[in-house]
């Protein structure tokens, strides 16, 4: 830490990359509809930030910065002559993509999903399985069948899981 700004070591930057990379690829894909280009763009943004030695006030500031940088890279690509020449270019789409609402809603959904998945992965294995099936709209009966456990056990796992998830995710609630 220097002057209130966070300067990354290679190790901490690698950790940030590993935690943000999957979400940012999904985010870029929402714009580009091409996974390979999405991955390339996200990697390029990470390389540029590292090379330019950009510092951040904190991790949230860094996360926001990466989302905006990836968004800008995607929009610039969609506006480029190369893209217009090769793809069916839709101006209406581009206007929708440039809207702040699109950016915010996609970024929030992706980040929230990542946080929830991380929280679920901290649950005991059976409880995590029950919650994942529950999220996929399985009924308690179907979950019991799928995991070969009783309905009461399903309900117990849910109780434990929800209590733990509430603790894990308490920072998301507005105080």
Tell me the mean pLDDT in the region 26-54: 90
My answer on whether 17 and 39 are in the same domain is: yes
My answer on whether 54 and 114 are in the same domain is: yes
DSSP category for residue 52 = T
pLDDT value of position 43: 94
Rounded Cα distance between 122 and 167, Å, is 11
My answer on whether 47 and 76 are in the same domain is: yes
In this model, does residue 4 exceed pLDDT 50?
A: no
pLDDT value of position 24: 92
My answer on whether 15 and 94 are in the same domain is: yes
Taking a C-beta distance cutoff of 8 angstroms, is the pair 6, 62 a contact? Answer: yes
Percent of the chain beyond pLDDT 90? 27
pTM: 0.56
CA distances (Å), 169 to each of 24, 69, 113, 125, in order?
Answer: 21, 27, 12, 18
Tell me the mean pLDDT in the region 22-42: 90
My answer on whether 11 and 39 are in the same domain is: yes
Shortest CA distance to 134 belongs to which of 152, 157, 118? 157
pLDDT value of position 38: 92
- Please state the domain count of the chain: 2
Q: Which of 77-81, 89-93, 114-118, 171-175 has the lowest mean pLDDT?
A: 171-175
Taking a C-beta distance cutoff of 8 angstroms, is the pair 123, 131 a contact? Answer: yes
CA contacts within 13 A on the Cβ side of 111: 12
Please give the residue range of the domain that contains residue 112. 1-121
CA contacts within 13 A on the Cβ side of 37: 13
My answer on whether 87 and 43 are in the same domain is: yes
My answer on whether 35 and 61 are in the same domain is: yes
Tell me the mean pLDDT in the region 78-107: 67
Q: Which of 36-45, 79-88, 112-121, 150-159 has the lowest mean pLDDT?
A: 79-88
Helix (H, G, I), strand (E, B) or coil at 34: coil
My answer on whether 87 and 131 are in the same domain is: no
My answer on whether 79 and 149 are in the same domain is: no
pLDDT value of position 60: 72
My answer on whether 95 and 141 are in the same domain is: no
- Domain boundary (121, 144, 160) is at 121
153: part of which helix (H) or strand (E)? Answer: helix 151-168
Q: Which of 23-27, 90-94, 129-133 has the lowest mean pLDDT?
A: 90-94
Taking a C-beta distance cutoff of 8 angstroms, is the pair 56, 62 a contact? Answer: yes
Tell me the mean pLDDT in the region 95-104: 70
My answer on whether 66 and 145 are in the same domain is: no
Rounded Cα distance between 122 and 168, Å, is 9
My answer on whether 80 and 106 are in the same domain is: yes
């Amino acid at each position: 830490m220097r002057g209130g700004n966070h300067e990354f070591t290679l190790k901490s930057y690698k950790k940030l990359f590993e935690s943000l990379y999957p979400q940012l690829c999904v985010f870029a894909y929402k714009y580009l509809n091409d996974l390979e280009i999405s991955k390339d763009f996200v990697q390029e943004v990470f390389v540029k930030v590292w090379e330019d030695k950009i510092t951040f006030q904190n991790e949230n500031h860094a996360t926001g910065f990466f989302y905006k940088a990836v968004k800008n890279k995607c929009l610039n690509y969609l506006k480029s002559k190369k893209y217009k020449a090769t793809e069916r270019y839709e101006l209406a789409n581009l206007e929708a993509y440039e809207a702040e609402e699109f950016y915010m809603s996609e970024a929030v959904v992706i980040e929230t999903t990542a946080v929830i998945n991380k929280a679920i992965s901290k649950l005991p294995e059976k409880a995590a399985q029950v919650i994942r099936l529950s999220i996929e709209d399985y009924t308690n009966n179907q979950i019991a069948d799928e995991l070969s456990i009783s309905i009461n056990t399903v309900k117990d796992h849910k109780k434990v899981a929800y209590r733990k998830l509430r603790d894990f995710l308490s920072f998301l609630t507005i105080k």
